[in-house]
Amino acid sequence: MSIRPAPYRRPALLVVAHGSRDPRHCATVRALVRRVRRLRPGVRVATAFLDFDTPSVPQALQRLAAQGVDEVVALPLLLTRAFHAKADIPAVLEESRRLLPSLRVRQAEVLGPSPLLTAALERRLAEAGALPGERSVTGVVLASAGSSDPEAIAVIADVARQWRHTGWRAVRTAFASASLPRTEDAVRELRAAGCARVAVAPYVVAPGFLPDRIARGAREAGADVLAGVLGPAPELAALLVRRYEKAAHEVPNRPQPALAGA
């Protein structure tokens, strides 16, 4: 006799990624989502992309509705609340609500800022060779994809300021597009400021064109350590779960278990 799986009783989680022509981006996002599924086996978890990859957000929501899902938490796989979180995703969700009136959809908060992101950055730096005993002589470049949104730039600057207090000699921001300085310039500035070692920590989720630009800048300027992208780091998966739990808790008539931290 076959055993039927238990039905999903909680809102589904739709992870909304940016998308990229680079196949590494999609592969990394799906690896992260697989880790989230393992953390919450009682939640239906799906993936959608704003561009380049499939399924699109409307396609993913249509599939969930066809499977009998009536509540969805759409979670932007974004580190800052910039244009995609403020405009693109709300617009596509609103259009989907119009086309699928029986499907209740709410947008969760973006991932950053969070101590879990800083922990993931630390993990990637350690994996790349940053040594705990050299923190006091090491400057770190916090390199993001870049944005023209002042709110996003301010958040990244604040992350750098707070991270500086964990023992690094200095932490500077850099951007692959839209804003300055570039990664190579920030590396050189830290050298000129007297840092014996310089490490570059990409503040990006998945590989692609802009993360490759960050890596090229780090190598050209002679950075001692170049960390990998955040990718499917366990801290990032845990953060997705926490953002989901917070949004799911706000769904009417859906009591959720408390989850400490944010």
Cβ pair 97, 90 in contact under 8 A = no
Query: pTM of the prediction?
Result: 0.89
**The pLDDT of residue 7:** 52
pLDDT confidence bin for 82, thresholds 50/70/90: confident
Burial 152-172 (b: 16+ CB within 10 A, else e): bbebbeebbeebbeeebbbbb
Please calculate the CA angle 229-93-238 and round it to the nearest 5 degrees. 35
**Each residue of 161-211: pLDDT tens digit?**
999 999 999 999 999 998 999 999 999 999 999 999 999 999 999 999 999
In percent, how much of the chain has pLDDT > 90? 84
Q: Which CATH architecture has domain 115-226?
A: 3-Layer(aba) Sandwich (3.40)
**The pLDDT of residue 200:** 98
**The pLDDT of residue 254:** 43
Enumerate the domain spans of the chain: 12-111+233-249, 115-226
12-111+233-249: CATH topology is Rossmann fold (3.40.50)
Topology alike, domains 12-111+233-249 and 115-226: yes
**The pLDDT of residue 84:** 75
